[in-house]
Structure formats: structure tokens, C-alpha cells
Amino acid sequence: MRNIAIFYASSTGNTKEIAKQISKSLDGLKEYDLKVTGCEYMQDYENIILGVSTWEAGKMQEDWEKVWKEFSNIDFKGKKVAIFGLGNQKKYKNNFLDAMGKIYSQLIKANAQVVGFTPTRGYEFEKSEAVIENCFVGLAVDIENDDNYLEKIEDWTKIIKSEFK
């Protein structure tokens, strides 16, 4: 198996850009756009990073919706998976990063070891399906309302690097 890959879907280019930032911070990784490849190559990797954005009132990005059945049939036993999610904590404060939470729930059902939780401290939202015990189930990215998101990416990738050894 190859070591680490990033799988993402992006409508506006923001999730793709964050995937590229993460890849750069981790010395360049293989990147897969789910719109092009679907989930076909996920089984080839021991360590996986998944990128998703939450749209409107908690909806998953459309290309994730299209591959959801395929994704739901993958057994992630023996794999470490980290998630990054994009959302708007002020505009959608009652469902901030819900799509990341949905992916996390499916990964747990599919026997994955999910790594890369981050604290909710400093975020302004009311509810999120992506929170467990005051931590997001991955990296929370709000490029519109968080001036420090690039620093958070750098910090998170250091954690991920150690988790994926």
C-alpha cells in the first residue's frame, strides 16, 4: 500500500485549495478529486485524508453525495483517516461542518481509526454534527471568518504527520 493520499470534492475550488495546502505541508501527497475518480483508490492507502465542505443548512457537497453509496461500502479496517471540513461558522452556525460529522460517523461504522481531532475553542457556532466532547472530528476550516486558518492547517498537518507514522 502507498502511504498517504488526500481525497476531496470541491465546487468552488476552496476545498481543493485547502487540500493542496495540506499536501504541501506534508511534502506533497497524491491528491484525488472525487468528481473524477470516485472512491476507487481509497483501498490503496493505509493513511487517508478526506476533505469535504458543508453547504447551506448542513448539506454535503454534491460530488460527495454522488459517491456516498460507494464510500459507504468501503471497509476502512486497518486504515487511519483524518478529515478536514470547510464551512461558515457565522452564516450557518446551527450546522457548522455537519458534512464532516456525517463522514466521521460513516468512518466509525466502517472500522476506521479517525485521527486529527481539533479543539472547538475560538469558533463561534451553536451546533455541529462534527463535534465530540468539545473537539471537532477533524480540521475545521472557515476561510471567510477565520484569519488564522492557514496557521491551523500547519499545526494540524504536524499532528497528522505524527499520527500517520
Residue 112: which of 91, 137, 86, 132 has the closest Cα? 137
Q: Is the pLDDT of residue 14 over 50?
A: yes
Average pLDDT, the chain: 94
Q: Is the pLDDT of residue 2 over 80?
A: no
pTM over 0.75: yes
Mean pLDDT of 81-95: 95
Mean pLDDT of 65-72: 96
The pLDDT confidence band at residue 58, using thresholds 50, 70 and 90, is confident
CB 89, CB 142: distance < 8 Å: yes
Cβ atoms within 10 Å, residue 27: 9
| Distances 39 to 47, 64, 65, 101 between C-alpha atoms, Å | 14, 10, 12, 18
Q: Which domains does the chain have, with CATH numbers?
A: 2-163 (3.40.50.360)
pLDDT in tens, 97-146: 999 999 999 999 999 999 999 999 999 999 999 999 999 999 999 999 99
Q: Is the pLDDT of residue 21 over 90?
A: yes
Mean pLDDT of 16-26: 95
Q: Is the pLDDT of residue 1 over 50?
A: no
